[in-house]
Structure 1
Amino acid sequence: MKNNGEIITLAEAIEFTHEYQESFPSGNIAYAVSKDKLLDIIQQVGCEGVRIYNGIDAENGNSNLVLVGIDDDGEDMTQGVILERLNVCPSYCPVNSALIRSYNIV
């Protein structure tokens, strides 16, 4: 778990996010979660990371994300804190972000 994930450049982030937005023009663009809620996950005893699952809310048919802690063995900490009901963009979007295709600030 220690080396899971890689820091990328802004150019790479723009490429990835714009490609997604072009492929799924009516899909959710982004999700926002507060630092406090992320800390609720990562400050659990034995938590070494966070896994993010894609999901669908059956009540409204909207896609969502489910966040759960991961222990040192790479297992989900399903008895701990699990997050969903994040703020979704569109609706809760940044005013100016190069990661949103319509702004195209590169």
Structure 2
Amino acid sequence: MKLDENTGGIITLEHAKKLVIAFDTKYNGEINSSFIGSKNIEDIMKQDGCVGLRIYNGYDEEKQRISLVLIGVDADGKEILDDGIIYDDLAVCPPICPIETSLMNK
């Protein structure tokens, strides 16, 4: 698959609900969502040659919880690592949860 600014696909709300509920069922009590500010996403995307983000699932042993790692990627699929901007330490739910969402309605 060629990576570019259009990689990814739109899904329906119903499919999103199915995915989120399945995760919550399988990993009940784990972090179920993460938030990152738009400026931080823009900082990654403004890097030379960046066409998108790669999001790694990580685990923070100190905090004993799931942790997402966001890295810029160029059109060749190469991660922008050397002197690149890498984010973690996102606002996670729980404890910082959406005020209102229909994704978690079972």
TM-score between the two structures when normalised by the length of structure 2: 0.91
The correspondence for 2:51, drawn from 48, 51, 56, is 48
Tell me the percent identity: 35
Task: Return the alpha-carbon distance in structure 2 between the equivalents of residues 94 and 58 of structure 1.
Answer: 25
Structure 1 unpaired stretches of 5+: none
Task: Return the alpha-carbon distance in structure 1 between the equivalents of residues 60 and 23 of structure 2.
Answer: 20
Report what 2:86 is aligned to.
82
Correspondence list, 1:55-74, <5 A: 55-74=58-77
Structure 2 unpaired stretches of 5+: none
Report what 1:97 is aligned to.
101
Task: Return the alpha-carbon distance in structure 1 between the equivalents of residues 7 and 56 of structure 2.
Answer: 16
- Write the letter of the residue equivalent to 2:103: L
Task: Return the alpha-carbon distance in structure 2 between the equivalents of residues 99 and 30 of structure 1.
Answer: 11
Task: Return the alpha-carbon distance in structure 2 between the equivalents of residues 72 and 57 of structure 1.
Answer: 29
Alignment length (residue pairs): 102
* 1:39 to 2:65 alignment: no
Deviations 1:29-50 (A, max 9, x none): 1000000000000111100110
